[in-house]
Structure 1
Amino acid sequence: MPFINDKLEYLTKKQEEQLAERAVARELEGQQKSAIKTRFRFEVPDVLARMRSRIIGQEHALAAIENMLKVVKTDISDPEKPLYVGLLLGPTGVGKTETVRVLAEAIHGKRNSFCRVDMNTLSLDHYAAALTGAPPGYVGSKEGATVLDKELIEGTFSKPGLILFDEIEKASDQVFQTLLNIFDNGLLRSTTGQDTINFRNTIILMTSNLGAREMDQFTNSRVAFLLKTIGFYVNPSNWGKQGTQILDGLIKKKLEQTFKPEFINRIDERITFKWLERNRMEEIVETFAGQLGQRLQRHGCSLQLERSAVDFLIENGFDKRYGARAIRRAMKQHIELPVAELLLASQVDMKNVVLLARKGTDGSRINITAERAEGLENGKLAMTGEP
């Protein structure tokens, strides 16, 4: 009987969670009186260390995330609202969604330990039922189906839940109305009234590309040219206070044109991600190559890039408009594909072999060769599996 088995599995899991929560509570009781007592079992410095190793060139955004985590960690948020409601703004490919993945990994141990809702799938008004379930009398009303994962949203006693509403500007007005209720009281009741999802232990993050086009137009406009001539440098990564105010004004105007005031007013914080500059591309190449190196460990080999290969990837992959995704595509084309072809063609055991990537003599491609570690020269940029 599948239903009974599912019910038993659910009850067993809930019992295990309750036992874990009691253990945490006992541990808190045994702490020294001088220590701050908090139920959350993550350490803010550890989370930020992991995030700074993965999210490149977004120090301002990570500082905002750090401040949010400090408040969450102390458990002093309003108990009748979500722990935090944040809107991540900025161009595509700059790390907004990756920030949520790394945050989930740092807190829960897995990159996919968060509920992700792609709002472009909820662009029509009647799609609000995907959040609350079909109303009584409609097909599917008895099943109470929803795109929301209750377990990931509610989290546990010692770890907050995490949800991402991706590309929030594409949602319908009815969906926004549903979100207003969540932001207000931290609860979402199904249309049948039989189930409630509790967001009061949840970090709610939303992403949007709103304002990115205006930012690009501004930095390439005649106004920007005039500002340059009077000594105001308009590179977004180096703007001072005046530039930040102009940028905030552009984004605020775009938000007000897109969202209703009551929605904007319920967002705790807007965090703007900036364009990735060319001088940060080497760090991004290192990150992607390190991740590929980890995947190569299943074959017993590692990856090492020469300087010429790194420069080639940056030259052929850097595009400010598309950010890190452009570099990722270059990695797939010029590194992953040759590596895959080499592995498939290999007739020997690849264990303890280093795959060395260097720019080809004709300058049009990267060559991958399999070499023993002891035969390599110094001066290489090693990517051996640690991102």
Structure 2
Amino acid sequence: MAIINALNRIKREAGIKKCLIVEGNVSDVYLVDKKLLGLKDCLRQCLEEIGYTNIVTWDRISGIQGDTRTLKLTDKKDVPEEGDSYDLGDVEIPDTVVIGQAREPGQMLAVIHRTLSEKNDNTAFILDWSEYLFNKDGQLDPQDREQLTMLGKTLKESLPRYRSDERGSAIILISTKASMLPLSLYSGNPEVNTVTITKPDMEERRDILRKVSPGFFLKDVDDIIDSPKFEDYVDMLNDFTGREIIQMANMSRQQKERITFEKLFALFKYGEKDNPWEKLSPDKVRRMKKELKEKVIGQDQAIDHVYETIVKAFMGITGIHKTSSRSMPKGVFFFVGPTGVGKTELSKAIASFLFGDENACIRFDMSEYSQQNSDQKLIGAPPGYVGFEEGGQLTNAIREKPFSVVLFDEIEKAAKPNPRILDIFLQILEDGRLTDNRGVTTYFSDTIIIFTSNLGAADVVNNGDREHVASEFVRIVKDYFDNELKRPEILGRIGYENIIPFNFIDDPSFATNILKSKLRPVQKAVEEKYGITLKIRNEQTFYEYILEGADIAKGGRDVLNALNSRLLTDLALYLFTNYEDLSRFRGCTVYAHVNEGKLEFDVDD
């Protein structure tokens, strides 16, 4: 258990090391001896167990708290030797004085220095919010340097004793990050050690959930402990703090009606009650292949692979062979193939099918991240740099749309010139989460991650053998990551089986089917904007006319270009010519047909 291990280490080292920096998850609550405690109470309890009888706490707001009788609050020379004498009569002097003095860091460090100079071996100091002891910008002013020197002298001046059974005095600094303290304080200093408190592990989450279970107000179960899904709930709370688990319980009691734990989890984590993954029905999943194949023509094998992955996610089997299964993305794909064959189109179709909106496909053009340090745009600029407060483009986008398809388009354009960006991908693929520049964690556990690439598009020859072409694309991708980038671990996280090669669009029937699928949105848009029904006469002649303007070897994208130049341009000119009559056209049908190699339009009233 994380907190117990950390406290045991503090018990071993307090007083042996004169100063311990306790960092990490220091603002949480912890379950110790069946009681929920804050960190200072945990520290006080474990210090008492190892024999410290005088434990003093401090922060800049409360000042000194604790028994001050053994502390040297002032130098002797500061105490006046002469003055009037007063009879206190029957006034009782308390044994413990909580005085709230020494709120300034310099004052407190002076108290510690004077007290430890007297070799008081039974005092432990706990300094909270110690990241604010010194200037956080790294430029120490003269006062900071003086205070740092004072603390250094306190730690180093007394010689260690090797025959004493007693511990020395201890200083414990509590900070969210040790790196927020001056490096010279702890780097290479044998009197200082760092103890990191991590977020609750599975055992701690289980115990905390049991402890606070009466606080949950849920649908279908009176006590969460009795739920057959209890262990699943513990797994879902991976990376949650104890405070957040308690906050979830409190949130459940604020709802107008009871909701399931899954809905409560989505509401707390994402701010949304509705989880699109929960809305998926078996019937809808069964329709997936048919709907995707209507939108993306000629890539049946790729769609079949996507379907199998979505079925695994629907059945809750994704990644169960890994300990971090709950935090993993629902699916990861690497689409590779010629340009314009439907890689981006399939990504958008998946987003539309799963999340009801094509805009749920969040696209990152990787050519924008090819410059050195441009990877910082994904997670945000470091502290002190322009744009720090804005956060990261990737982390912000996923927090805004946690249920989405994340498309990293043409990854090779950034991978080689800026290989550090691959480290960000590794963290997403391995842990399912990413921490931005402000320390805020974003979760990718409800996303689909898609990488696309045109690697091999200029080298692979379309010889008509689809299996050979597909194997060549896969071979080129492996060679690129293994030998050129020397980062085989990227494909290791993605999975070789998830490298999905796309076919060349070389069959004229494919081009015709693509044209048909793209014509439907045009007809719908014309009807919505002008109230006109657009129909085609002699469809086969029309399709041949449009496709004469397309180079099929360039894929579906050139079919779109031909549709734009050979239909939309002429349609716009026709409507503009009849601009004054457009109101009369509403409710009518406009027929497009080919006549003597040109496109013409007729109105059927």
Higher helix content, 1 or 2: 1
- Is the 8 Å Cα contact of residues 281 and 318 (structure 1) preserved in structure 2? no
- Match of 1:115, SS state, is strand
In structure 1, the partner of 2:515 is 285
Aligned residue number for residue 126 of structure 1 = 373
Matches within 5 A, 1:30-45: 40-42=278-280, 43-45=284-286
Letter of the structure 2 residue corresponding to residue 285 of structure 1:
L
SS in 1 for 2:592: strand
SS at match of 1:126: coil
Residue aligning to 1:150: 398
Give the Å deviation of 1:286. 0.8
3-state DSSP of counterpart to 2:359:
coil
Separation of aligned partners in 2, 1:84 and 1:20: 33
**Per-residue deviation at 1:371?**
2.5
Measured after TM superposition, the shift of residue 143 of structure 1 is: 3.2
Which residue among 451, 466, 475 is the counterpart of 1:249?
475
Give the drift of 1:152: 5.2
The structural deviation recorded for 1:247 is 5.0
Match of 2:561 in 1: 329
Q: Structure 1 residues 140 and 249, CA, compared in 2 at 3 Å: closer, same or farther? A: closer
| Residue correspondence of structure 1 range 305-344 to structure 2 within 5 A | 305=536, 306=538, 307-320=540-553, 322-344=554-576
Aligned residue for 2:444?
A: 199
C-alpha distance in structure 2 between counterparts of 1:142 and 1:131, whole Å: 13
Q: 1:207 to 1:258 in 2, by over 3 A?
A: farther
**Structure 2: runs of 5 or more not aligned:** 1-250, 264-275, 319-324
Give the Cα–Cα distance (whole angstroms) in 2 for the partners of residues 297 and 184 of structure 1.
47
Residues 17-69 of structure 1 deviation map (CA, whole Å, 9 limit, x = unaligned)? x999936958xxxxxxxxxxx96322312333221111000010000110111
Once superposed, what is the RMSD of the aligned Cα atoms? Answer: 2.6
Q: Deviations over 1:269-322 (max 9, x none)?
A: 1111111122211111111111100101121112222221111112221331x2
Matching residue's letter, 2:316: D
Distance 1:297 1:313, change over 3 A: same
Shift of 1:178: 1.2
Whether contact under 8 Å (1:176, 1:263) holds in the other structure is yes
Task: Find the aligned partners of 2:548 and 2:257 in 1 and give their Cα distance.
Answer: 51
Counterpart residue number, 1:53: 294
Q: Is the 8 A contact 1:113 1:152 kept in 2?
A: no
Structure 2 residue matching 1:214: 3-state secondary structure: coil
Question: How far has the Cα of 1:133 moved from its partner?
Answer: 0.6
Alpha-carbon distance between aligned partners in 2 of 1:20 and 1:207, rounded to the nearest angstrom: 44
Deviation by residue 1:64-121 (Cα, 9 ceiling, x = unmatched): 1101110111122221322222101111110100111111111122111122211110
Matches within 5 A, 1:235-384: 235-236=464-465, 239-240=466-467, 244-246=470-472, 248-259=474-485, 260-268=487-495, 269-277=498-506, 278-298=508-528, 299-305=530-536, 306=538, 307-320=540-553, 322-346=554-578, 347-348=580-581, 349-361=584-596, 363=597, 365-372=598-605
* CA distance in 1: counterparts of 2:307 and 2:317, whole angstroms: 15
Matched length: 318
Give distance in 1, aligned partners of 2:502 and 2:358. 20
For residue 176 of structure 1, what is the aligned residue in structure 2? Answer: 422
Please point out which of 256, 259, 276 is paired with 1:22. Answer: 259
Confirm or deny: 8 A CA contact 2:398 2:444 kept in the other structure. Answer: no
The C-alpha deviation readout for 1:342-374, integer Å capped at 9, x for no partner, is 21222332223222222231x2x32223234xx
Q: Which residue of structure 2 aligns with residue 375 of structure 1?
A: none
How far apart, in 1, do the equivalents of 2:406 and 2:256 lie? 25
Ranked by relative contact order (alpha carbons within 8 Å, sequence separation 6 or more), the top structure is: 1
- 2:338: which partner in 1? 91
Letter of the 1:182 counterpart: I
In the alignment, which residue of structure 1 is the partner of 2:131?
Answer: none
1:162 Cα offset (Å): 1.9
Code of the aligned partner of 2:279 = R
1:302 is aligned with what amino acid? T
What's the % identity of the aligned pairs? 25
Q: Provide the rounded CA distance (Å) in 2 between the counterparts of 1:89 and 1:21.
A: 46
Question: What residue is the counterpart of 1:34 in the other structure?
Answer: none
Cα distance in 1 between the residues matched to 2:340 and 2:400:
25
TM-score (ref. length: structure 1): 0.75
Provide the rounded CA distance (Å) in 1 between the counterparts of 2:329 and 2:505.
31
- Which secondary structure state, in structure 2, belongs to the residue aligned with residue 316 of structure 1? coil
SS in structure 2 at match of 1:303: strand
Q: How does 1:215-254 map to 2 (within 5 A)?
A: 215=460, 218-219=461-462, 234-236=463-465, 239-240=466-467, 244-246=470-472, 248-254=474-480
Q: Distance in 1 between matches of 2:405 and 2:493?
A: 18
CA contact (8 A) 1:153 1:163 kept: no
Equivalent residue number for residue 94 of structure 2: none
Larger Rg: 2
Contact 1:129–1:146, Cα closer than 8 Å, also in 2 = no
Identify the residue that residue 70 of structure 2 maps to in structure 1. none
C-alpha separation between the residues in 1 aligned to 2:569 and 2:256? 48
- How has the CA–CA distance of structure 1 residues 24 and 44 changed in structure 2, closer, same or farther, with 3 Å as cutoff? farther
State the one-letter code of the partner of 1:50: E
- Deviation by residue 1:166-197 (Cα, 9 ceiling, x = unmatched): 1111122111111111111111101221x111
The alignment partner of 2:420 has SS state of helix
Counterpart amino acid of residue 494 in structure 2:
I
